[in-house]
Amino acid sequence: MALHGKVALVTGSTSGIGLGIARVLASHGAAIALNGFGDAGEIETLRRKLGDEFGVRVTYDGADLSRVSEVEALVRNTQNEHGGLDILVNNAGIQFTADIADFPAERWDAVIAINLSSVFHAMRVAIPGMKAKGWGRIINIASAHGLTASAQKSAYVAAKHAVVGLTKVAALELANAGVTANAICPGWVLTPLVERQLHDRARSKNTGFDVEKRDLVAEKQPMHEFTTPEQVGALAAFLCSDDARTITGAPLSIDGGWLAH
């Protein structure tokens, strides 16, 4: 229970990678603040089960991270409800795919707001409390697309590259404050975000979900295997450990060799 007594806010943790990270941090004893969208009843069941399973306090806040005021309130509410915030995992993200010439301006704004600006605003509000305590962990979920590009993903690739840069700035500013800032860069993880892309591909190519599932991974990753949300969670938990206290400013790939190309 290495994280007993620590409080972790995981944005976008009602599904996918965020939920996997929340589960692993809870299994190490951290109190958890969940955030994200979904059915209210299902989220309440999720909140209760997570707390019961690991014996930790779990709260939920449905803040919409496309709005600056809600990002600020999410961090402040977590600090107030839990008596502080030690671990900030900026995970919430959306995807939209189209060629640049066809990319709707409002989709660009939404991807940048949620995938990039919310990371900045959450760090801006959380950092003073971490510095005051002399301990903190900031973990930004970037992507392989924070280090390399794919066509039709202009907003996502721009946001994720910027998250990697922003993480490095935070690491420099916090280097001697007991606070580390790192970016995790996953390859393919089979979550609702990727399942939507697989259904779109199957529809446009007139193939099937399973064919696209195989081809999608093989196109980018030398290793033809999806990473699981729990594996990303395990890396996040390691970054919270004392052994990882000198790892900062690093983009950490967990991507089946994608970036080895």
Check residue 251 for interaction with ligand NAD (CB under 6 A): no
What residues numbered 51-110 form the site for ligand NAD, per CB under 6 A? 64-66, 91-94
What residues numbered 165-204 form the site for ligand NAD, per CB under 6 A? 186, 188-189, 191-194
- Looking at 16-24, 75-83, 147-155, 217-225, which segment touches ligand NAD (CB under 6 A)? 16-24
* Interface size with ligand NAD, residues (CB under 6 A): 29
Least distance to ligand NAD from the beta carbon of 1, Å?
A: 26
Per-residue H/E/C for the chain = CCCCCCEEEECCCCCHHHHHHHHHHHHCCCEEEEECCCCHHHHHHHHHHHHHHHCCCEEEECCCCCCHHHHHHHHHHHHHHHCCCCEEEECCCCCCCECHHHCCHHHHHHHHHHHHHHHHHHHHHHHHHHHHHCCEEEEEECCHHHCCCCCCEHHHHHHHHHHHHHHHHHHHHCCCCCEEEEEEEECCECCHHHHHHHHHHHHHHCCCHHHHHHHHHHHHCCCCCCECHHHHHHHHHHHHCHHHCCCCCCEEEECCCHHHC
Least distance to ligand NAD from the beta carbon of 131, Å?
A: 25
- Looking at 32-40, 76-84, 101-109, 205-213, which segment touches ligand NAD (CB under 6 A)? 32-40
Check residue 238 for interaction with ligand NAD (CB under 6 A): no
Least distance to ligand NAD from the beta carbon of 69, Å?
A: 13
**Which residues are annotated as catalytic?**
156
Instruction: Pick the closer one to ligand NAD by CB: 228 or 245.
Output: 228
Check residue 154 for interaction with ligand NAD (CB under 6 A): no
What is the contact surface with ligand NAD in residues (CB under 6 A)?
A: 12-18, 35-38, 64-66, 91-94, 114-115, 141, 143, 186, 188-189, 191-194
